[in-house]
Every structure is written in structure tokens, then in C-alpha cells.
A = this chain, B = another copy of it.
Amino acid sequence: MHFLADDLAGLATRYRAALINSLTGFKSANLVGTADAAGNTNLAIMSSAVHLGSHPPLIALVIRPDPVERHTLSNLLASGCYTLNHVQADWLEAAHQTAARYPREQSEFAATGLSEGWWPDFPAPFVREANIRMGLRLREHQELAINGTHLVIGEVEHLELPGDCLREDGSLDLEAAGTIALSGLDSYHATRRLRRLAYAKPDRAAAVLEGAAD
């Protein structure tokens, strides 16, 4: 099937949203934790985290100005801090449920049964159930003129993870950590490693670094 720009523009709103949200492929599934100045907490599932750089360690998020994500945005702009927590299969229903439009005064932690954790002097809550969790300090923010979404760039100040998923070369075995993937708006996926490939060089064919997971 071949869609042109006009075909896409002519689709029904929800159909188009489901289709276009599927186009980028598999996406990360993270819960973003924030709090307001009074300590009221907020948790929202997002699939837009993207690696920006390693030194300093920077991660970008695209946040929509809609009713669900704007609580996260206003909290992190005020406090300067937020957490990213990898979603796992054993509590994916709770993670998905954070996308519901709860009123501002209701915490998604309480509503979904997930547990708040706090680091000293860091004003955003992490998710205790998440094996991989990070605390980020806001470094840059801009509203994108093209469609009013917000680009938020943060630096990793805290990183907690299970030691047994950290490989000798520094990479993480995300399957061992229980991290899952998302596609489209609502589909959650477990993964199975096919292989790791060695650093690519022009003068040799792709070489296997590590084979399929057991």
C-alpha cells in the first residue's frame, strides 16, 4: 500500500494517530516522574526518550502540551528535575494506566499502585518497581514552533540499575533488566536478542560480538 501526503491528511483523526504513531518503529517505554513544589507527585508514560549524547549524558524527551503530559511539563519546568523509569512486563498495566486523565491533585502513583522512591536533595520521585531508573536535571527546554510540542533536554544525575545487567563493556542487557518496548499507542512487547554486532568498519563484513540470548 502506498499513502501520499494527501491520503494521510484525509484519514480519520484516530485512525491517522494510530498509523502515524506506529511509523517510527519500536519505542522505549518510560515512566516520567515529577513533583510540584508542594510535593504532589505525577507519573506519565512516554515513548519519546532519545539519546542525545554521552559526555555529558544527555537525554531528550518530546512532551505534548495535552492534558496528560502538561502536568509533567509544568512540574519539571518548575523543579528542574524529573526521573525516567524503564517499564517492565510485570507492571505494564499500571504503567499504561498513568496515561489516563487524572486531575492534577491526584497522583498517578496512588492511582496505579506504583511506589514512590526519593533520592536526597532530588525533588522528583522515581518508581521503586523499575529496575532501571534515572534522575535528570533539566538543561534545555524549547517549544517547537512547528506543532507546539516541547523538547526537553536533561542530564543524567542519578542512575540506578541491577549490577547483573551491566556488561563488561558498559552496555546494559535490557532483557535481563526486564525492560519492555512499545509500538504505536498501546502495544507492549517483550524482546529476544538476535545478536550484537561488532563496531562496523569499511574493510570487513559485519562480525557477531554476541549471539542470541539463551
Contact = CB atoms under 8 A, between A and B. Distances in A.
Interface of A: 1-5, 8-9, 11-30, 47-60, 62, 84, 86-87, 89, 92-94, 96-103, 106, 111, 132, 134, 139-140, 144-147, 149, 151, 153, 155-163, 166-167, 169-172, 174-175, 179-181, 183-202, 205-206, 209-210
Nearest to A198: B186
B192 A189 contact: yes
A30 B197 CA distance: 16
Contacts of A201: 100-101
B52 A149 contact: yes
Given A26-B26, A58-B147, 5 more contacts: A20-B53, A26-B180, A92-B195, A92-B197, A106-B202
Given A24-B28, A158-B3, A190-B191, A171 B96 contact: no
B55 A170 contact: no
A107 to B, nearest CB: 12
19 contacts: A8-B57, A20-B57, A22-B172, A24-B50, A24-B51, A25-B30, A25-B87, A25-B179, A50-B62, A52-B147, A101-B202, A140-B145, A140-B146, A181-B191, A186-B199, A188-B196, A189-B191, A189-B193, A190-B192
